[in-house]
A = this chain, B = another copy of it.
Amino acid sequence: MPKAQRHRGTKLLGSEAVRKRTKVVISSRARNLIVLNMRRSILITAGIITVSDRGSRGEREDISGKEVRKLLEGISVNVVDYEIIPDEKNIIINKLIEYTDERKLDLIVTTGGTGVSPRDVTPDATLEVIEKEIPGMSEAMRRESAAATPHAVISRAVTGIRKNSLIINLPGSPKGATENLTAILPALRHAIEKIKGDESECGE
């Protein structure tokens, strides 16, 4: 299994760099702006779990996991953990609990095991650990993906919340994973900020 990779805090790009820089200003008005900026550029940590029997035996290169990482880093999400595990329900459950309860990651994205084959159990494992389901995110992913790929309707991918962590299932194919994640990318930071307890008004 690939070792967990950490690079939290190793880059300061875009809005984060701006946040760091603005910290030198201390006037009252500026402080409000800083708080606003901090909220806007809130640090988000993520883990990627690739669920694949073949991948976990090293028989298949994990292209999907890499594509997912690229998309997440594109919206300034810090991917701090990444592992490939087999399609075993208990292993998936334990890994999800480790990433949420122990490592307290804001976002956990799984790829693989969302289909209808007997070995596909990622959604079933996810349903056992989440406390609240967010059906609208899964619906939007399937709808957008189905416009390009009719088979996308078969995905049983689940999205939900455990404690303060957002868990998102993606299909295993690079095309499916990319299509699905892209569909909800515009709502992702907002969702995570709300889950973490941001109480500003929303819905505009």
Residues of chain A whose beta carbon lies under 8 Å from any beta carbon of chain B: 115-119, 123-124, 132-140, 142-143, 146, 149-156, 161, 164, 166, 171-173, 175-176, 184, 186-187, 190-191, 194-195, 197-199, 201-204
Question: How far in angstroms is the closest Cβ of chain B from A189?
Answer: 10
CA distance A176 to B115 in the complex (A): 26
Copies in the complex: 3
Q: Residue of B at shortest CB range from A164?
A: B118
With a cutoff of 8 Å between Cβ atoms, the chain B residues found around residue A175 in the complex are 203-204
Would you call B116 and A173 a contact (CB within 8 A)? no
With a cutoff of 8 Å between Cβ atoms, the chain B residues found around residue A143 in the complex are 139, 143
With a cutoff of 8 Å between Cβ atoms, the chain B residues found around residue A204 in the complex are 149, 173, 175
Would you call B116 and A153 a contact (CB within 8 A)? no
With a cutoff of 8 Å between Cβ atoms, the chain B residues found around residue A138 in the complex are 135-136
Given A173-B202, A203-B176, are A136 and B154 neighbors across the interface (CB < 8 Å)? yes
Would you call A156 and B140 a contact (CB within 8 A)? no
CA distance A190 to B138 in the complex (A): 21
Would you call B173 and A203 a contact (CB within 8 A)? yes
Would you call B117 and A134 a contact (CB within 8 A)? no
CA distance A21 to B198 in the complex (A): 56
Q: Which of B134, B140, B151, B198 contacts A190 (CB 8 A)?
A: B151
Q: Residue of B at shortest CB range from A121?
A: B132
Given A139-B139, A173-B204, A176-B203, are A117 and B151 neighbors across the interface (CB < 8 Å)? no
CA distance A99 to B124 in the complex (A): 24
Question: How far in angstroms is the closest Cβ of chain B from A11?
Answer: 26
Would you call A139 and B153 a contact (CB within 8 A)? yes
CA distance A191 to B114 in the complex (A): 12
Would you call A194 and B154 a contact (CB within 8 A)? yes
Given A151-B203, A156-B136, A171-B203, are A118 and B187 neighbors across the interface (CB < 8 Å)? no
